[in-house]
Amino acid sequence: MTFSSQLEAKRFLAAKIASEAEHEGAALSDVEKRMLLFSEQEPESTVGFPDGFLDDIDEEYERRVTSLLKAAYTRDRDNPLERQPYEDAMKTLKGSDHYILVMAEAALPKPTKIQNHTDAAFAGPNKIRTIIYILIGAGVVVAIIAYVLLRTRS
């Protein structure tokens, strides 16, 4: 699923967060839901907030939203059809200045690139194993060449 706009991507993530809050029995208030769509890039997203409201956003709200999104993702991640929209939403929002992105980046895993077998062999713990195999192979080749040279000289 690709999103046609950043607003659509934000709405998807906001819906997942709100749904998870309801699932846990502690629904978000209307103001909390609207905060999920806030962006400094979009002045209209602040319409209706009380004066000074945005200055008083507390870290507890951000922790709660991050936890809700992480729980929603955990529930959906094993099904590729459910997981893909999260990845698409993050790609759509990448590099933007949306409040929900702060919490989504903390809640969701970093996107991974699909690696070909060569890249996978040289990534992480497999890199050391691959280097060891190459060194062992080179050692065997050198031993065979040395043996052949010694036998031909005799």
Q: How do residues 8-63 score in pLDDT, each as one tens digit? A: 999 999 999 999 999 999 999 888 898 899 887 777 777 776 666 666 677 888 99
Cβ burial 24-43 (10 Å sphere, 16+ → b, else e): eeeebeeebebbbbbbeeee
Structure tokens at 71: 């729980």
CB 85 within 8 A of CB 2: no
- What pTM, to 2 d.p., does this model score? 0.68
Q: Which amino acid is at 57?
A: I
What are the phi and psi torsion angles at 110 (to 5°)? -65, 140
CB 73 within 8 A of CB 137: no
Q: Whole-angstrom Cα distance, residue 108 to residue 90?
A: 9
Q: Which of 80, 65, 82, 83 is nearest to 29 (CA)?
A: 65
Q: Which residues contact 28 (CB under 8 A, 6 or more apart)?
A: 17, 18, 21, 36
Q: How do residues 78-134 score in pLDDT, each as one tens digit? A: 998 999 999 999 999 998 989 999 999 999 988 654 334 444 445 556 677 778 888
